[in-house]
Amino acid sequence: MKACVLTWGCQLNALRSQEIEGVLGQAGFTVVDRPEQADVVVLNTCMVRQRAEDKVAGRVGELSRLKQEKPFLIAVGGCMPQGRGSQILRLLPQADFAFGTSDVHKLPHLIERARAGEKFAYLPAPNGLERLPIRRPSSFQAYVRLAEGCSHACSYCVVPRVRGPLRSRPLPEIVGELRGLAEQGYKEVTLLGQNVDAYGLDLGDGTRFAEVLRAASQIPIPWVRFTTSHPAYMEDEVMDALAQGANLCPHVHLAVQSGSDRVLQAMNRGYTGEKFLALVGRLRRKVPGVNITTDVIVGFPGETEKDFAATVELVKEAEFGTVYIAAYSPRPGTAAAALPDDVPFQEKQRRLEALLALTRQLALDLHRRRIGTTVTVLAHQHLPEKNLVMGKTKDFRTVLVPGDRALVGQFLEVDVLAASSGALHGRVRRGWQ
């Protein structure tokens, strides 16, 4: 049988899809890229915002029409079924079956049940940590999971419900996986967790995230990244480890979400705007040149124009490299879902667009400072329609250079000649494998 896996959401979801492909491959399935080639199409879903769910629903509708020409199974899996529970098959009646965020190793058996004509949702509560085979699509980039789940319970966030509480992997197991990737010649590894800074809090042996970074810095992988960081858990020891590790990339994704103390308290974030900016200052002093990126939610319940203005001021002061902005949408089962969603849609969009315009200008100003410099870039992707290669610097700035597919996977020395809000633009000086 042939299987196609479609993915929405975060990097942890991308890794989960690689594991789904690994499980299916081990069971004898051939993994294909296009749904029309498949006997079963697996949708690995996201529900962090309503827009993500709407995209999944639209794709299921498209697949159901395609299914009329060539029969295949539609399996909806991951966060959306876990969060929506037994109603998922009423929301997506075209799906043949649904599965949640755990017991992924049972997927071949679930497919057999569906092939026998059974329509069902398999949704055990998330617990434990599965050890699953991985089908990595890249020979030079890899993801490594440090932990699964989150125990912080921000009031707007559905992650604790759909992914369960924090479960950290033992450090020796992580180190073993990193050493294996080094032996295979991987050039960039990203350490993943819904809240990487909370790593180890559940282990009970004193192991913390800084120890993971120190261990990773001793392994011969050229670049090691991590994401995502929660400001309430970022410790000085983590900053010190980041500063001292030669292969640790000076980029921290530190989600602020709002600049208003009142909104931050309602979000249950665990810090104030002042404390966040103090943390940013400390991080920049300890890790010179660090690129700090962030997430912001606009239109949270009760957010006033004054609250939004506080967010705008914080964004200006923090000088983030990139700001990912989303309009608030209530998530089922969260504390904030019980609050009135009282910021009108049009006002959410106005605030989003205003903040987006500001952040684009700030990014352009930061990128223009790089014109005339030379940066090291790991080439990620060839863009054939423009004959450009897209890559990232060590501090996670996007770079575009003329070039062909042969450059992908190489480290390049790039002279920066121009800048836009989204990227540095330049030409390759030299490359090495």
Give the torsion through C-alpha atoms of 1, 89, 69, 16, to 10 deg.
-40
CATH number for the domain running over 374-432 = 2.40.50.140
Handedness of CA 358, 362, 363, 365 (dihedral sign): positive
Flag whether pLDDT at 432 surpasses 70.
Answer: no
Distance of alpha carbon 86 from the chain centroid: 26
DSSP symbol at 127:
-
204 three-class SS: coil
pLDDT band at 175 (very low <50, low <70, confident <90, very high): very high
Mean pLDDT computed over 301-320: 98
Q: With helix as H, strand as E and coil as C, how does 257-288 read?
A: ECCCHHHHHHHCCCCCHHHHHHHHHHHHHHCC
Pick the CATH number of 141-368 from 3.80.30.20, 3.40.50.1970, 3.40.190.10, 3.40.50.1820: 3.80.30.20
d(CA 74, CA 9): 19
Separation of CA 21 from chain center: 19
Q: Give the model's confidence band at 177: pLDDT under 50 very low, under 70 low, under 90 confident, else very high.
A: very high
431 confidence band (pLDDT: 50, 70, 90)? low
Alpha helices in 300-432, H assignment, sequence order: 305-318, 345-368
- Going from N- to C-terminal start, the domains of the chain cover 2-122, 141-368, 374-432
Q: 10 Å Cβ neighbour count for 117?
A: 7
User: Tokens 């980041």 sit at which residue?
Assistant: 242
Q: How far apart are CA 1 and CA 23, in angstroms?
A: 13
Tokens 């009282």, residue located: 342
Q: Which residue has the tokens 């539609």?
A: 74
Whether the predicted pLDDT of 112 surpasses 70: yes
Phi, then psi, of 220 in degrees rounded to 5 = -75, 60
**pLDDT tens digit string along 396-426?**
999 999 999 999 999 999 999 999 999 999 9
* SS3 call for 425: strand
Arithmetic mean of pLDDT over the chain: 97
Q: What does the pLDDT average to over 4-26?
A: 98
pLDDT of 196 = 97
pLDDT at 231: 97
Q: What is the pLDDT of residue 430?
A: 67
Distance CA 178, CA 217 (A): 10
**Strand pairing class (223-227; 188-192):** parallel
Contact 167, 131 (CB under 8 A): no
User: Tens of pLDDT along 43-71?
Assistant: 999 999 999 999 999 999 999 999 999 99
- Which contacts of 24-30 are long-range, i.e. CB under 8 A and separated by 24 or more positions? 24/107, 24/108, 25/133, 25/135, 26/133, 27/107, 27/108, 28/1, 29/1, 29/2, 29/3, 29/108, 30/1, 30/2, 30/3
CA 270 to chain centroid = 22
**DSSP tally for the chain: helices H, then strands E:** 13, 19
In sequence order, which residues have a C-beta less than 8 Å from that of residue 340 and are 6 or more positions away? 301, 302
Distance CA 74, CA 99 (A): 11
Q: Which residues of 75-98 are buried (b: 16+ CB within 10 A; e: fewer)?
A: bbbbbbbbbbeeebbebbeebbbb
Burial status of residue 307 (CB atoms within 10 A of its CB: 0-12, 13-18, 19 or more): buried
pLDDT of residue 433: 47
Whether the bond between 228 and the residue before it is cis, its omega within 30 degrees of 0, is yes
Q: Are 157 and 138 in contact (CB under 8 A)?
A: no
pLDDT in tens, 178-225: 999 999 999 999 999 999 999 999 999 999 999 999 999 999 999 999
Q: Where are the alpha helices (DSSP H) in 217-340?
A: 236-244, 261-267, 273-286, 305-318
The confidence band for 369, taking pLDDT boundaries of 50, 70 and 90, is very high
> Are 325 and 301 spatial neighbours (Cβ–Cβ below 8 Å)?
no
Look up residue 385 and give its amino acid. E
Superfamily for the 2-122 domain: Methylthiotransferase, N-terminal domain (3.40.50.12160)
User: Side chain identity at 96, as an amino acid letter?
Assistant: D
> Cα(163)–Cα(46) distance, rounded to whole angstroms?
11
Q: What's the pLDDT at 235?
A: 96
Residues 6+ apart with CB under 8 A from 72: 35, 38, 39, 40, 41
